[in-house]
Structure 1
Amino acid sequence: MADRAHTDGSQAALPAIPTLEELQHWTWVMGRAQQMLMEHGFDMLARLPEPPAHSPASPPALFDPVPAIRASADFWADTMQLWQRFLDPAAAGAAPPEPPERARDKRFKAPQWREQPLFDFIRQSYLLIADHMVKGVDAIDGVDERQKERIRFATQGFIDAMSPSNFAATNPLVLEKIVETRGESMLKGLQNMLADIEKGQLTHTDSAAFEVGRNIATTPGKVVKRTPLYELIHYAPTTEQVFATPLVIFPPWINRFYILDLTPEKSFIRWAVEQGLSVFVVSWKSADASMKDVVWDDYVERGQIDAIDTIRELLGVESVHAIGYCVAGTTLAATLALLEARGEAGKVASATFFTAQVDFEQAGDLNLFVDDEQLKLIQSLSGDGYLDGRYMAATFNLLRGRDLIWNYVTNNYLMGEEYAPFDLLHWNGDVTNLPARWHQSYLSDLYRDNKLVRPGAISISGTPIDLGTVRTPTYVQAGREDHIAPAESVWKITQHFAGPIRFVLAGSGHIAGVVNPPSAQKYQYWTNDEPAETLEAFVAGARETKGSWWPDWLGWIGERAPAKVAAESARIPGEGALAALADAPGDYVRMR
């Protein structure tokens, strides 16, 4: 640490600023990393087995090194220009304008990154190297595209991790904070980091700010059924009449159900109740050792079909509307196919899919985590018959590492900032455990082998299923910016079901694209009543509507089953044949 005099004559300790030699070394290290990456590509190609001479898909006999060499030469040429502008700006001339995406980079939005020459050089050097590392991956020729995607994903993860914003010595804001707080920020950040290490999970928000049943998941209702797999919550009506056909919502068991019941203002469940729907929600049990033998069949039979039959019997109705979110939507597709095979399709009046996939050919970056080595690793982490939910949380964080990992490393570890209360991030960190057998088969059968879209390739309780037989009226919602279930992948549902389908493309992603109440007046959605063979064709002819797609869905539901009945007797939670076991949100949502 060096000393610098304040204007009042006092002395304040400042961290040492990297020297020119250190900056040169840092540039060399990152450049060497890029070179190693390309050399790895050469080595990998050299180890590829010789393809059969008759194979039409045989790669070229010789690897063409020209693209890689050109990429390397371009990198060092750009680096020299950057150094020249830093050391002799007059001779080098004005720097070229930065692309728009750099101006939007939140990591470097503080003016210090541009106004202070040293940190401006660090920023520009890092971004230059990052661009060329990505180009270096693209220059690796003759590699299987899936393998190249893995290299590209790993490279981007490395680039994000190596950002100068992630290190105290190269982040001007961190240095200023240390001086301003006389080292207190550094100690607070260390405390935050050690606390996360102890609990084995990255913290995103103030964990004490929220509590289920107190200020999140507060929609009034009762648990009317509890099984070893789920609790069934029946929500209290708020209208004098309700739609005769009830609604059951199946949330993903990878997360807690209350993503659809955050604050009253954001709650899809509360909103649906206020629109006159009799709403039931399944709250899944977080897996423990007692669930080591649970498989997908159980989530179909003992979960979704059991809940559907329970509601039908309780209310004395022929059918229900069903919603499946994410993995529960994938499961709902299997449920519909199984009911078709049994001649019981009439139990479901309509099916709605929130960001759900049935065809995993274009399932996005999650596909990069599914190969034999990854499956063996996951199996090794499931010794008690279930996978600790923290591993899944870490995987999803990696998909958006810059926002969900390094942003918090910088703010809460390096800067020592307090955690801000944020209901969505509280839910994101409220992890659930997964049954190991189900998780393994889900990854291998669906993500890796894509069996669900092959007629008869998957059987549920001994019955082969075929999505092509599903004729249930279907509403499909996809998120335009969804990185977990890409819109292109969700669209494929329209190519596999045989019944009438309404597809809606919503603005934003996997969560905000779904949890978008009309009162917020945020985002938009696109609809297209004309036939479309592809998502691109759908978008090309689509009509954009500002705001939430929820009213569009409600109108679609109302057209399917418009009849209404009095909100009395069994329509009141606990007053029918099923007694109330607990107040909503129940017990399972609190189990860890």
Structure 2
Amino acid sequence: MARSTAHGGKIHPIDRFLHATEARVTSGLSPASIMAAYSDWVVHLANAPGKQAELVEKALRKNLRFAAYVQQAMFGRKGAPCIDPLPQDRRFQSPDWQTIPFSCWYQGFLLTQQWWHNATVGIGGVTPHHEDVVSFSARQILDMFSPSNFPWTNPTVLRRTFDEKGQNLIRGARNFAEDWERAVLQKPPVGTEAFRVGGNLAMTKGKVVYRNRLIELIQYEPTTKKVGAEPVLIVPAWIMKYYILDLSESNSMVKYLVDQGHTVFIISWKNPTEDDSDTGFHDYIDLGVNKALEAVRGIVGETPVHTVGYCIGGTLLSIAAAAICRDGKDWIKTVTLFAAQTDFTEAGELMLFIDDSQIAYLEDLMWDRGYLDTKEMAGAFQLLRSNDLIWSKLINDYLMGERTQMTDLMAWNADATRMPYRMHSEYLRSLFLNNDFAEGRYYVDDKPVALTDIHVPLFVVGAERDHVAPWKSVFKINLLADTDITFLLASGGHNAGIISEPGHPHRHFRVAEKKERDPYVAPDQWFEQTPVSEGSWWPAWEAWLTAQSGGKVDARAVGNRDAGYPAICDAPGSYVLQD
């Protein structure tokens, strides 16, 4: 797919090759984008003497406060700390950090971190995006020098080293060497070998009943004599493999739905290669959602379908559903969206990596090899939660000499997929950058679609600590859609908040229904006035599905040879096994 500039000029192949080469070194991050943000910040700060004076004053006050704290600590008088860590910052929770000199080191670090935050925000004239990038970058750089990351400044590591006579550091060196070897040889992380797709993952019984060049459609075997009249079709994200919704037997959403008496289908996406570089977003609509719906209706009879979309799969489903409803087709009974954004104006920290410069850089990288590799995507997601995903691993695996126990969700997370060049470019530009769907500029079959085209009931799930699809961004569907909406806010993050099976400890949720004519309620107000329910949210959603259904029918056979949909092979199929 050729790319032009905003003014219609073609990008020279030499420039694209250079950018693609650079991007391999920078893990897909655009130096020009970062420098533009830094230049915007530094020029405006240099022209803001009032802000400079304020920063000098803050530095003096922090130093005086810190000096008083150190003096008290040195004389054994325990006073209140200068600064408390943020609620999500668990680096300094150990009581060992409250002893000299470690208490002074971590207090000094947090004060420095707070000062730099003040220095990177609140400067008149800096664009909000550039302010976010500079503030985020400063935080990432400072986190590298946290006293918790070094064995001689981390009291917990020092205690372990003393108690074990250094054996923890020897184990840590072995762990590091093993991880380095696996990274160089492009092997999966340690522990993933204990999990096998089709063995102890994705093990719910079913058959592939349809296949094209983009999807395999799996239908699961019934476990009840009666099933709901309308089947359930799940459209997962293709940024990862579908079996997050069919992990182990104990936490499989697919198995849960089947055991509750639903006929369940799920899409398994092909892992694209350079041959799929010209596969576009509309191909995912036509060959993905539309062909899957045609197959489901061909197998079970022409009945409307309960549709479910997760993450980018939910965004795709919402666009496809809008087009289907716009055209007067009665294919869809309900739409359920898990952690799926339909408006991208408040898309969270992922927007740090989205601007014209960054997208152009990624396009040149994808142009060179036909797809976006898993490493670039993984790097961006790790940066969003660097303390949890990078530095905590360094401390635990390499300094403490312990191995984090691999779980089924972690093994799934390591089984990433690629993004086709054309599709990912269209997705980033049309949705993330231009917000075309929410603003009525997105076209399907040469006609615009909007959320107001969807006239079936919606069940929308957000997660409280979601960094990928912030719940307040997901919540905006209440403002944009003109139909009955049940919104549920789950505890947890983007993945753990969705995989919240009954019996999972420490889970809660809020849920409320908004009828089509009800007034809009802002998210903070909704949060305050909606009561908390303890436990898994899955039963609440399943009860909603049952209430929307047209009763029960006899359990259906898998596939329908007479309709042209024979069982092709056993689940989980072949596409999910592609590297």
Deviations 1:6-50 (A, max 9, x none): xxxxxxxxxxxxxxxxxxxxxxxxxxxxxxxx9977632289xxx
Q: Look up the equivalent residue of 1:444 and give its one-letter code.
A: R
Worse overlay, 38-47 or 63-72: 38-47
Q: Which residue of 1 aligns with 2:33?
A: none
Residue 525 of structure 1, CA deviation: 1.6
Determine if the alignment matches structure 1 residue 511 to structure 2 residue 495.
Answer: yes
The separation in 2 between residues aligned to 1:471 and 1:500, in whole angstroms, is 8
Contact 1:242/1:277 (<8 A) preserved: yes
Q: Cα distance, 1:236 vs. partner?
A: 0.8
Equivalent in the alignment of 1:348? 332
Is this contact kept in 2: 1:220–1:584, CA < 8 A? yes
Of the three residues 195, 211, 219, the one matched with 2:181 is 195
1:365-444 correspondence to structure 2 within 5 Å = 365-382=349-366, 383-444=368-429
Tell me the residue number matched to 1:586.
573
- Cross-structure match for 1:184: 170
Q: Give the one of 508, 511, 515 matched to 1:524.
A: 508
Query: Which residue type is aligned with residue 468 of structure 2?
Result: I
Q: Aligned match of 2:446 in 452, 462, 468? A: 462
Q: What secondary structure, in the 3-state scheme, does the structure 1 residue paired with 2:308 have?
A: strand
Alignment check: 8 A CA contact 1:224 1:574 kept:
no
For 1:130, the aligned partner's letter is Q
Counterpart mapping for 1:199-238 below 5 A = 199=185, 203=189, 206-238=191-223
Match of 1:135 among 99, 102, 118: 118
Q: In structure 2, the residue corresponding to 1:498 is in which secondary structure?
A: coil
Indicate how the Cα distance of structure 1 residues 409 and 248 shifts in structure 2: closer, same or farther if over 3 A, else same: same
Cα distance, 1:475 vs. partner?
A: 0.8
Aligned partner of 2:134: which letter? Answer: I
1:256-295 to structure 2, matched below 5 A, reads 256-295=241-280
Determine the C-alpha separation between the residues in 2 that align with 1:39 and 1:394. 21
What are the equivalent positions in structure 2 for 1:461-540 lying under 5 Å apart?
Answer: 461-520=445-504, 522-529=506-513, 531=518, 532-540=520-528
How many corresponding residue pairs?
535
**Cα–Cα, structure 1 residues 305 and 377, in superposed 2: closer, same or farther, change >3 Å?**
same
**Distance (Å, rounded) in 2 between the aligned partners of 1:520 and 1:411:** 25
Cα shift readout 1:33-85 (whole Å, capped 9, x = no counterpart): xxxxx9977632289xxxxxxxxxxxxxxx44223322233224423543454
| 1:576 shift after superposition | 7.6
Q: What residue number does 1:118 align with?
A: 101
Q: Identity over the aligned pairs, expressed in percent?
A: 32
Deviations 1:413-444 (A, max 9, x none): 33332241211111111110111111111111
Asked if 2 retains the 8 angstrom alpha-carbon contact of 1:233 and 1:584, the reply is: yes
1:165 has 2:184 as partner: no
Q: Is 1:68 the counterpart of 2:87 in the alignment?
A: no
Is the contact made by 2:318 and 2:342 (CA closer than 8 Å) also made in structure 1? yes
Q: Which residue number in structure 2 is paired with residue 13 of structure 1?
A: none
Give the stretch that moved more between structures: 291-300 or 384-393. Answer: 384-393
* TM-fit CA distance, 1:351: 0.6
CA spacing shift, 1:99–1:88, aligned 2, 3 Å: closer
CA distance in 2, matches of 1:39, 1:147: 7
**What TM-score comes out, normalization by structure 1 length?**
0.84
Is 2:128 aligned against 1:145? yes
Partner residue, 2:24: none
Residue 32 (structure 2) pairs with residue 45 (structure 1): no
Secondary structure of the corresponding residue to residue 253 of structure 1: coil
Counterpart AA for 2:492: S
Q: In the TM superposition, what is the alpha-carbon distance from 1:578 to its structure 2 partner?
A: 2.6
Structure number with larger C-alpha Rg = 1
Change (3 A) 1:351 1:186: closer
Contact 2:459 2:485 in 1 (8 A): yes
Q: Distance in 1 between matches of 2:340 and 2:449?
A: 18
Q: Quickly say closer, same or farther: Cα 1:125–1:41, change in 2 above 3 A.
A: farther
Provide structure 2 residue ranges, at least 5 long, that are not aligned to the other structure.
1-36
Per-residue deviation at 1:575?
9.7
Paired with 1:426 and 1:367, the residues of 2 have a C-alpha distance of 27
Q: CA deviation at 1:245?
A: 0.6
CA deviation string 1:272-301 (max 9, x = no partner): 000000000101111111211111101111
Separation in structure 2 between the aligned mates of residue 290 and residue 497 of structure 1, nearest angstrom: 38
- TM-superposed deviation, 1:111: 3.2
- Does residue 565 (structure 1) correspond to residue 549 (structure 2)? The answer is no
Deviations 1:286-335 (A, max 9, x none): 11112111111011111001000101011113211100001011111110
> Is this contact kept in 2: 1:336–1:472, CA < 8 A?
no
Q: Structure 1 residues 186, 265: closer, same or farther in 2, change over 3 A?
A: closer
Q: Which residue of 2 aligns with 1:550?
A: 538
Compared with structure 1, are the counterparts of its residues 170 and 189 closer, same or farther at alpha carbon in structure 2 (3 Å cutoff)? farther
